[in-house]
Structure 1
Amino acid sequence: MFIQKKKNRQEADLDITPFMNLMIVLVPVLLLSMVFTRITVIDIQLPASAGENAAELSQKQIEVVIKDASILVNFPEGRLLRSIKNKADGTPDYDNVSLVLQALKRELQIKGADRKNLTLLVSEAIPYHKVISTMDAVRSYSAVVVTDVVDAELFPDIAFGDAPVSADLALLNSLSYSRSTYMFEAAKSARS
Structure 2
Amino acid sequence: MGFKIKRQNTDDAEIDVTSFMNLMIVLVPVLLMSMTFTKVSVMEINLPELGGGPGNSSLDQSQLEVMVRKTGMQVYFPAGSLVKDIPLLEDGKQDFQTLSLVMREVKKKVVDKTDALILLTKDLEYQTLLNTMDT
Partner of 2:116: 118
Partner of 1:128: 126
Structure 2 counterparts to residues 176-187 of structure 1, below 5 A:
none
Q: Which runs of 5+ in 1 are unaligned?
A: 1-50, 138-192
Matched residue SS, 2:124: coil
Provide the TM-score with structure 1 as the length reference. 0.40
Q: Over the residues paired in the alignment, what is the CA RMSD in angstroms?
A: 1.8
Displacement, 1:52?
3.3
Q: Which runs of 5+ in 2 are unaligned?
A: 1-41, 48-57
- Residue 133 of structure 2 aligns with an amino acid whose one-letter code is M
- Residue 94 of structure 2 aligns with an amino acid whose one-letter code is P
Partner of 2:71: 69
Partner of 2:34: none
By percentage of residues, which structure has more strand? 1
Give CA-to-partner distance per residue, 1:70-105, whole Å, 9 cap, x none.
111000112211110010110011000000000110
Matched residue SS, 2:84: strand
User: What CA distance in whole angstroms lies between the structure 2 residues aligned with 1:52 and 1:80?
Assistant: 28
- Residue 119 of structure 1 aligns with an amino acid whose one-letter code is L
Displacement, 1:54?
4.8
Partner of 2:85: 83
User: What CA distance in whole angstroms lies between the structure 2 residues aligned with 1:52 and 1:64?
Assistant: 24
User: What CA distance in whole angstroms lies between the structure 1 residues aligned with 2:82 and 2:43?
Assistant: 26
Runs of 4+ in structure 1 off by over 3 angstroms are 51-54
Matched residues, number: 82
Identity between Structure 1 and Structure 2 (%): 29
